[in-house]
Every structure is written in C-alpha cells, then in structure tokens.
Amino acid sequence: MNGTKVGQAGPKRTGALTFALGVLAVLHAHGGWAGAGQPVPRALPEDAQPAAASRSVQRIEEALGEAASHLAAVAVDIENAEYAKAEAFLTHYLRTVEAAHHRYHPELVRPLLLLGDARFGQANYPGALESYSQAVQVSRVSGGLFTPNQVEAVYKQSEALQRLGDGEAATRREEYAYEVLLRAYGTDNEAMLPGVFRLARWYKDAYNIFAARALYQQALKIYGANDKAGTPRAIPALQGLAETYRMERFPPFYLDDQELPSRFATRSSGRFANYELPLQINSFPVAERALQEVIRIRQKDANTGPTPVSEAILDLADWHLMWEHFRKAHTLYEHVYARFEKVGTVDAAAYFAEPMLLHFAAPKDPRPPPAGERDKRTAGFVEVQFQVSANGSVRNMAVVASEPEGLMDFPVRRSLRGARYRPAMVDGKAVPFEEEIYRHEFNYFPRSEKADDNQENDA
C-alpha cells in the first residue's frame, strides 16, 4: 500500500503544517518554557488527517499561536539573563522556520533579534552583530530597501559595534537608521521624533554638539508643525538645545590649548543634521530662552506639580551661575528655597545642605608606557579637599590622598579650578562650604618590573 499512515509526515502534508509540527517538536525538546508561565504545547492527536482541510487549518493556527507565545517567553528569559537557554531554543526555531519557508521569510526577523539579544547578553558581540545583520537583511528583502521595519535591528547593530570598539561604524548605522526614517516619514512628521532624539543624543555623547543642536532644533520645528509647540512634549528638545550650548562653553573633559573643540569628531560626522535651520554658536540668549520656556510650560501644565516647576527654575539658576550671572542665580536659588519651604514636599534645608557639582572637566587618564613595558591596567584615585564659595567656585584646594601618589594630583587640581557647584544654602541664603571633598578615580598602566630592571641594567 502506497498511502501515508495517519500521524506520519508524508508528501501531501502542507508546508504550514510541517512548520507548525516542527516548531512544536522544538518546544517539546526544550521544555516548552513552562517555567516562564507558558503552557507546554501538546502533540497533535493521531486522528489529525491532512485531508481534513478545515480541521488542519484550525490546528495550524493554534500551533502558530503557541509558537508566537513562546517567543514572548524567550524574551522574558533573556530579561532574566537565561541567555544560553534562549539561544538554544532560538537556533532550532530559526532552522525550523527556514525549512518551512525560506531564509528571508519575515517571520525570521523577531527570532533573529532575540537571538542577537541572547548572544549580546553573553558578551558574544560578533555573534550578536551577525544575528542583527541577518534581521536587517531579511527586513529589507521582505519589506523593501528602506523599510522602517529594519530600524530596530539597525540600532541593535550599532550597539554591538560600540561594544566591539568600532565607533565610526556604529555612527554610520545610527545615521542610516535616521535616513530610513526620513525617507519613510519626511521632515515634519511626528513619527520622526524618536529617531531625531536618538541621533541627537548620539551626536551629543560624541561631543558633536553642533549636529546635536541642529537636530534638537529640528524636533522643535516638528512640534511647531504639529501644533505641539509650547507643550510638555517639547521639553526634552528645549532642554537638549540648552545642553548643547552649555557643552560648548563647558566641555565634559579637559581640553588642552592645542586640542580641537570636537574631540570625538572621527566618531560622529553629523551628516544627517538639518543645518537648513538657523544655527547659532556660543549664543547665551538662545539657551536662556529655551530654559525659560521650559519653566513657562511647567507652570501652565495642570498636571505638573510644584516640584517639576522648581526643578526647571533650578536649571535656569544653574545656567546663570555657570555664566557668572551671580545676582540672577542667587535670586532664583532663594526663590526655589522659599517654594520648597512653602509647599513642604521637599525639605529645603536638607536639599541645599551641601554643594552640588554642576561641572567638572575630567582630565585625561595618564599616558601609558609602551606596550612592551606596561603592567596590567590598575585603578588609581585622587582625593582633594577644598572650599566651595557662595558663588559655586572652588578655593583653597589640598590633596588629602592619592594612589599612586603624585601621578594625577596636578591634572585633578587643574580641572577643579574650573569646576562649578550649586552652592550650599542656610536659611535661604547661599553660603561658603568649608570641607567639600572630591574623589577622582582613573585607570593607568604601571611600568612593569621587567622594564624597570632593563633600565637599571642599561644605566
């Protein structure tokens, strides 16, 4: 007899049913993720005849539904750091999908992203990058060259490239994702905002402040085009805009005179920033108006409590202090102190009891010896005691401890001279704070004992 036995695979079985059964077999082989709160799938009963079309379709749908629910369970396992378990399941799952369909089927995207996450969690960054790249390729084949469906995978490529130390390649991925969104939605569509903010933060972190500034301005333009200007949604763009001006005047790291302002320019091109908008350089009033607008928005918003309003005022006060507009800064600090006391939700005396560091230009770590003469990387520190004046500046510095002694004492003291603090306050007035201590930690490479011995022998 040439027929197919009931319950066995045969030539008449549909591809969808083969796929469903394959997935269920994989789920059984790996415990069904019952521990994640999902039901263990049951095998199809022996009387499931392929010829019964209506019954087969219903069972396929149920099987695929169970498979999809297990992908959600895998995501939970990844969140719980059960990476190896997730990777084992996903590897078999992907093979099953490819066998039932083809290697560019859109149902591969989700498990490929999860497989990349599982590998990323195990610090297998090359493997994670491979999975994310496959997800991008599948998305482009199934949805078109510039489908926005690929953006999540592109961002994950960037994160893997960062861990691999390839900042320039990561930047190209970030910019490509932005280009995809721009092609899909256009410049004034609110759907662009997540991409605009992400790329702006990327540029800002790379100290490409002018490109970041242009993107925050683009975000404000989008809000204006969609009648959202002056609303709480615009606050991150206003704050980001002000931050770029602050970073222009107060870089987060110490710059020697011969260094270019854009220390990380090779990591961030800024080619997708919209420079068609007016771009102002070193303009205090633009940033001041942005911070004032945040205060107005907070004050008008019925859902905003008194604390966010006070925090917005403090941001403006800090801004004035850093630009040495001390009279305006003290007026605003005193106003916030009084607000805290009046409302009672914040203990004003405790809140302002000690100075708060606003800016410290971190010095570079010590230059290492040549590769053949260095020992393993070691942690060091410098502790400096000083007075913080009522205007937030540092005075009367003294090194109280350092390891190794003298290695970074001078660079840390030099950076502290330009530091800015929000001053301590007593009874609503700014006062000097006598015994502030700053601890700076750094990494360095000691010279190896072998190198020292060779120097002595040469002498």
pLDDT score for 407 = 96
**Model confidence at 38, in pLDDT bands (50, 70, 90)?**
very low
- The answer to whether 278 and 297 are in contact (CB under 8 A) is no
Count of structural domains within the chain: 2
More confident residue, 359 or 10: 359
Q: Quick check: 310 pLDDT over 90?
A: yes
**Of the candidate ranges 286-300, 329-343, 440-454, the one whose mean pLDDT is the lowest:** 440-454
More confident residue, 45 or 420: 420
Region 57-70: what's the mean pLDDT? 53
In Å, what is the CA distance from 168 to each residue of 21, 159, 164, 171, 203? Answer: 44, 12, 11, 5, 12
Domain membership of residue 409 as a residue range = 356-458
Q: Quick check: 342 pLDDT over 60?
A: yes
**Residue 324 token pair:** 């040495």
pLDDT score for 311 = 96
- The answer to whether 176 and 154 are in contact (CB under 8 A) is yes
Query: If you ran DSSP here, which 8-state letter would residue 277 be given?
Result: S
**Of the candidate ranges 43-57, 167-181, 330-344, 422-436, the one whose mean pLDDT is the lowest:** 43-57
State the SS3 of 369-432.
Answer: CCHHHECCCEEEEEEEEEEECCCCCEEEEEEEEEECCCCCHHHHHHHHHCCEEECEEECCEEEC
In a domain, 237, yes or no: no
What is 143-201 written as a DSSP string? H-TT-GGGHHHHHHHHHHHHHTT-HHHHHHHHHHHHHHHHHHH-TT-GGGHHHHHHHHH
**Model confidence at 65, in pLDDT bands (50, 70, 90)?**
low
The CATH number of whichever domain residue 93 belongs to comes to: 1.25.40.10
Q: Quick check: 53 pLDDT over 50?
A: no
Tokens 């569509």 belong to 189
Region 121-141: what's the mean pLDDT? 97
Average pLDDT of the chain, as a whole number? 84
Task: Among 118, 142, 165, identify where a domain stops.
Answer: 165
Residue-wise pLDDT for 263-279, tens only, equals: 444 445 556 555 455 55
Q: Quick check: 332 pLDDT over 60?
A: yes
Q: Quick check: 66 pLDDT over 60?
A: no
pLDDT score for 254 = 83
In a domain, 135, yes or no: yes
In a domain, 398, yes or no: yes
In a domain, 275, yes or no: no
pLDDT score for 42 = 35
pTM for this prediction = 0.79
170/161 Cα distance (integer angstroms): 5
Task: Among 112, 134, 165, identify where a domain stops.
Answer: 165
In a domain, 254, yes or no: no
In a domain, 177, yes or no: no
Region 375-396: what's the mean pLDDT? 97
**Model confidence at 344, in pLDDT bands (50, 70, 90)?**
confident
- The answer to whether 388 and 424 are in contact (CB under 8 A) is yes
In a domain, 366, yes or no: yes
The CATH number of whichever domain residue 432 belongs to comes to: 3.30.2420.10
Region 74-86: what's the mean pLDDT? 95
In a domain, 138, yes or no: yes
Task: Among 165, 195, 220, identify where a domain stops.
Answer: 165
Residue-wise pLDDT for 152-195, tens only, equals: 999 999 999 999 999 999 999 999 999 999 999 999 999 999 99
**Of the candidate ranges 64-68, 140-144, 184-188, 363-367, the one whose mean pLDDT is the lowest:** 64-68
Task: Compute the Cα dihedral for 276, 280, 285, 288 and give only its sign.
Answer: positive
Region 206-231: what's the mean pLDDT? 95
**Of the candidate ranges 45-49, 123-127, 287-291, 316-320, the one whose mean pLDDT is the lowest:** 45-49
- Please return the burial class of 204, using the count of CB atoms within 10 Å of its CB with bins 0-12, 13-18 and 19+: buried
pLDDT score for 50 = 41
pLDDT score for 305 = 84
243/348 Cα distance (integer angstroms): 26
